[in-house]
Amino acid sequence: MTAWYGVPPPVRHIDTAGWLRIIRRLLPMAVLTYGGLMLLVVLRLVEAPLRGPVRPLTPWITRWVCRGNLWLMGMAYGVRGRPMAARGAQVANHAGWLDIFTLNACQTIYFVAKSEVARWPGIGWLARATGTVFIARDPRQARAQQALFEDRLRWGHRMLFFPEGTSTDARRVLPFKSTLFAGFYSHGLDHVMQIQPVTVIYRAPPGRDPRLYGWWGDMAFGPHFLATLSEPRQGRVEVVFHDPVAVDAFASRKELAAHCEAVIRAELAAALGISAVDEAAEAGAVSSSPARMP
């Protein structure tokens, strides 16, 4: 799969003070994350026999763990608008691994991720426990995956997709792949579903590279994660919930994808003061590196 591949910033050297900040932030984050996971698993043992696939309690643990981790990192956090109340799904721009904390912190949501994520050490376990939907890039599994999406929607699960198919430097929106929208037009779902565009806006602390929170291309997770925690001062992230739209208001998945992309792109560009011309100039080269999505 072809993915945007801009030039990454130089690798940041972590000095002694930076390592001390990492330890000060990472230890409580680990306790909160895995302590919350253990509590989630225990509650799920009670919740599952009583409510089956419906999860009335455990998503609140995920929500407060993610909100707590942003606080422990020192990241300022804001929300505009409200998560949709109707049955449907959300689509958002994708900057990197921080999106998982950011989008979970303000709502009950279930991510849609590539199947490889389920096998990632540590992260895969967390993703499975919190109800992530895994998809494989295999046409032979398309029908089974569509049935899974429909089941999750009927259970009242709100799913979130990253239609760009890869992460970015947090300063652009890549073209949305309309393939992910195809499932909304089957078995009458288009007549009952709504889609809500969501814009995630990261602002680096003053004096730092504005791409600080982006994670893309061949960047390794570990060094990027540690470098982020080593920052003496963190920036700010804002989640903007746009008005949901009815799926059947658009004649095709391509029109729906184009609408969501335009709404998110306009919000991000306005927030960061980037014109469409500037964004295109910054886009860099395109390579065939594997697309990345959580």
Using alpha carbons, select from 103, 159, 151, 154 the residue that is nearest to residue 131: 159
Render pLDDT for 34-59 as a digit per residue (tens, 0 to 9).
999 899 889 988 888 887 777 888 88
138-147, 189-198, 217-226: least confidently modelled range: 138-147
What is the reported pLDDT for 243? 97
Tell me the pTM. Answer: 0.87
Is the CA virtual torsion 102, 117, 165, 234 positive or negative?
positive
Alpha carbons 43 and 60: distance in angstroms, whole number: 11
Render pLDDT for 113-129 as a digit per residue (tens, 0 to 9).
777 777 766 667 777 77
State the fold for domain 3-287: Glycerol-3-phosphate (1)-acyltransferase (3.40.1130)
Say which amino acid occupies 34.
Y
Q: On the CB side of 77, how many CA atoms lie within 13 Å of its CA? A: 18
pLDDT higher than threshold 60 for residue 143: yes
Which of 51-65, 136-150, 208-222 tops mean pLDDT? 208-222
Task: Tell me if 166 sits within 8 A of 216, measured CB to CB.
Answer: yes
